[in-house]
Chain A
């Protein structure tokens, strides 16, 4: 299971890979409209890739509500149990 603190890096990596942009160009405030090719169809492709890479299932309802990459990261974090203390 992925750790909560890994989510942001992984989401940004998958977004960057899916839309062929540099990870450095993707930030918390990035919206779909900022990224060439991010439409409703490719959003589904992104969700499929994220679920595969993160090994979790992402609720469609929650994913659809996220307006920015930061909100998407938060909503995914919310679906992962808290990290167990060492």
Chain B
């Protein structure tokens, strides 16, 4: 069956119908590059020609590890154009050791077997140590190929796709074995983006402001694929620039008259914590700041609304959404133009994530876990080459999210989670992963480290706390704490808030030798009022 509803088919139609409509603005410092929908197709075909010249085609995997630049978007589209399967990988930050960073990716690369990895010069030698025989391409060395004029016949049409083709692979963060690639299909992605767009009232007149990297599902799906599908405009700023100057997002909104921005909860708080006192931002163009990808907290919404009220922000310009890569992106979306409801349960105020999207089935199990019906629009069929992880999360056609919540008056509320995952600054980390890294640091007793999350309302996210048994002398502890923080940061990009060395025997294990993170967390919280020794 021929399927012409992939992202690149939509892209081609927009380029034909509204060629000069703005598609992408890439802002980096004072530098701004703008691309129309016609430019997007032109650039995509050039990039597709570069891939095809390397014998890459239908069903091949294309790995992309780039920083904030338009070629990230173009490569993704070019892969789709020729029927290949793109994956966006996060490159290491300048503060991470690239060799340590990539070390964990060898197994994943071998398991997928990409036909090419496109990255940048500073990164390629480290990547080469784990890429085996995979061809590596430096994006800056193919500029001449890309500049070469296009023949009208050169890859004029995207290749035919099938509805059940794998459209792209998104990998969860993590180290060896725990990185999971989410298997979806083209038809599911199209259906999911269609219902989510309807719930948002998204149209080609919308302008999306984003700082989210494309390796984040919200950055990829909500801030790139969904607007491209509908013919809207994207204005993207660099995530690193946003961290040091969060108000850049507000400047961007004001300058480009943006209408929608997706932000994890912590990002709203980060804007509040750093808002310049001597500036006013014009935000009336905004239809919705959509909070998603970590628990949406009512107090954060209230602080954001209060701090930005002098800038004309109204509470009805705030919205929420709940979802994950396994559900393409969203399960729920609160309607723009109405502040999400706050409901009190068991003495805790909870913010609504909105009603379920059309066609999405969800239920809350007896244990309080949110489960999603994969027969609906998501069609999540498991993890790439990882039957064990698939079996663990799929029971029949129900996908077990590992999140806890309740449904009140047709709206979903998320209250916590049972999976051993920490969500820090909108990114997920497996507790096992962090513990394994900590356990390998000299001075820590192997297998005697526990990591858990503690909510931090001042940051609007979770803090990662590590308690580890050590026999290090008191005056060696500072160095040990630094070594543990550095090891975790190099491998995962996560900064542990606290590393607490404790005496051997402090950590509680069950009689079967299993670590109880909840129990150790309770023990640590009880002790943390005083010194931990």
A33-B481, A33-B485 as given contacts; A40 in contact with B274, CB under 8 Å: no
Contact B495 A39, beta carbon cutoff 8 Å = yes
Residue A44 contacts which of B244, B495, B498 (CB distance < 8 angstroms)? B244
Q: Once bound together, how far apart are the Cα atoms of A45 and B463, in whole Å?
A: 16
User: Across the interface, which residues of B come within 8 angstroms of A31, CB to CB?
Assistant: 482
B18 at the interface (CB under 8 A from A): no
**With A36-B498, A37-B463 in contact, is A45–B478 under 8 Å at CB?**
no
Partner of A36, one of B243, B459, B497: B497
Given A36-B497, A36-B498, A48-B274, decide whether A42 and B482 contact each other with a Cβ distance below 8 A: no
Cβ of A5 < 8 Å from any Cβ of B?
no
Q: Which residues of B contact A60 (CB under 8 A)?
A: 244-245
- The answer to whether A17 has its CB under 8 Å from any CB of chain B is no
Give CA–CA (A26, B498) in the complex, Å: 16
A34 touches B (CB below 8 Å) = yes
Whether the Cβ atoms of A41 and B266 lie closer than 8 Å is yes
Q: Is B246 an interface residue (CB 8 A)?
A: yes
Contact in complex: A41, B425 (CB < 8 Å): yes
Residue of B nearest to A29 (CB): B478
Query: When the two chains form their complex, are residues A45 and B495 in contact, meaning their CB atoms are under 8 A apart?
Result: no
Query: What distance in Å separates the Cβ of A64 from its nearest Cβ neighbour in chain B?
Result: 8
On whether the beta carbons of B478 and A34 are closer than 8 Å, the reply is yes
Is the CB–CB distance between A41 and B270 below 8 Å? yes
**Interface footprint category on B:** 20 to 34
Q: Which of the listed residues B243, B244, B456, B482 has the most CB atoms from chain A within 10 Å of its own CB?
A: B244
B265 interfacial by beta-carbon distance below 8 Å: no
Q: Does B292 contact A (CB under 8 A)?
A: no
- Any A CB within 8 A of the CB of B125: no
**Smallest Cβ-Cβ distance to B269: which chain A residue:** A41
> Which A residues between 12 and 69 are near B, CB-CB below 8 angstroms?
31, 33-34, 36-45, 47-48, 52, 60, 64
How far, in angstroms, from A36 to B465 measured CA to CA in the complex?
Answer: 10
Q: A interface, by DSSP: helix, strand, loop or mixed?
A: helix
Name the residue of chain A whose CB is nearest to the CB of B493: A40
Q: Check A44 against B485 for contact (C-beta < 8 Å).
A: no
B486 within 8 A of A: yes
Decide yes or no: A40 and B495 within 8 Å by CB, A45-B273, A45-B274, A60-B244 being known contacts: yes
Closest to A34 in B: B478
- B446-471: contact bitstring with A at CB < 8 Å (1 yes, 0 no)? 00000000001001000100000000
Chain B: CB-nearest residue to A31: B482
Which residues of chain A come closer than 8 Å to B463, judged between CB atoms?
37
**B459 and A33 contacting across the interface, CB-CB below 8 Å:** no
Q: Say yes or no: A34-B481 contact (C-beta < 8 A), given A39-B495, A41-B243, A44-B243.
A: yes
A36 to B481, CA, bound (A): 10
Looking at B270, B486, B495, B498, the one whose CB has the most chain A CB atoms below 10 A away is B495
Please, how many angstroms separate the alpha-carbon atoms of A41 and B509 in the complex?
A: 34
Alpha-carbon separation in the docked complex, A77 to B276 (Å): 23
> Given the complex, which residues of A lie within 8 Å of B243, measured CB to CB?
40-41, 44
B481/A42 in contact, CB under 8 A: no
In the complex, what residues of B have CB within 8 A of residue A43's CB? 244
Q: Return the contact of A42 from the options B245, B277, B459, B485 (Cβ within 8 A).
A: B459
In contact, A37 and B244 (Cβ under 8 angstroms): no
Interface centre among A42, A48, A52, A60 (most CB of B within 10 A): A48
Q: Is the CB of B486 within 8 A of A44?
A: no
Contact of A33 with B270 at beta-carbon distance under 8 Å, contacts A41-B459, A42-B459, A44-B244 already known: no
Taking CB atoms, residues of chain B closer than 8 Å to A64 are: 244
A30: nearest chain-B partner, CB-CB: B478
Given known pairs A31-B482, A33-B485, A34-B482, the reply for A44 and B270 (CB within 8 Å) is: yes
Q: Which of A37, A38, A41 has the most CB of B within 10 A?
A: A41
Q: Tell me which residues across on chain B come within 8 A of A48, comparing CB atoms.
A: 273-274, 276
7 CB contacts below 8 A, A to B, read A39-B495, A40-B244, A41-B425, A41-B459, A45-B273, A48-B274, A52-B277
What 7 A-B pairs have minimum CB-CB distances, sorted nearest first? A39-B495, A33-B482, A33-B485, A48-B274, A36-B498, A45-B273, A37-B497
